[in-house]
Amino acid sequence: MASDFESLRAKSQKALLDFLSAELQLGATFVHSAQLAQNDEHTEHYLQAKHAAEKASESLHKFISHVHDDRERAEIEHGLAELDRRISVL
């Protein structure tokens, strides 16, 4: 029974890490999209993309504390800090 729990826990952590990685990638994509829209003076698209990047950041901040592995959490925190920095200069 303990091995079932450990297996479930490992699968849960893998799913969480996959989700957080996808959110980091999406956030970066939305930042890039916002930058392109801003350069082309497409204000509505810029605002939508910036908001989507902010939502990705919020999700990351909400769930990062659930990552158990310190190295994995540090990598995500580094990516999140970069995402937040890029959002702040939009």
- Distance CA(75)–CA(16), nearest Å, equals 14
Q: Comparing C-alpha atoms, which of 20, 13, 18 is closest to residue 60?
A: 20
Separation CA 83–CA 52 (nearest Å): 12
- Note the pLDDT tens digit of each residue in 1-58: 668 999 999 999 999 999 999 999 999 999 999 999 999 999 999 999 999 999 999 9
d(CA 69, CA 43): 40
For residue 28, the model assigns a pLDDT of 98
| All structural domains of the chain with their residue ranges | 2-88
- Angstrom distance (rounded) from CA 80 to CA 39: 24
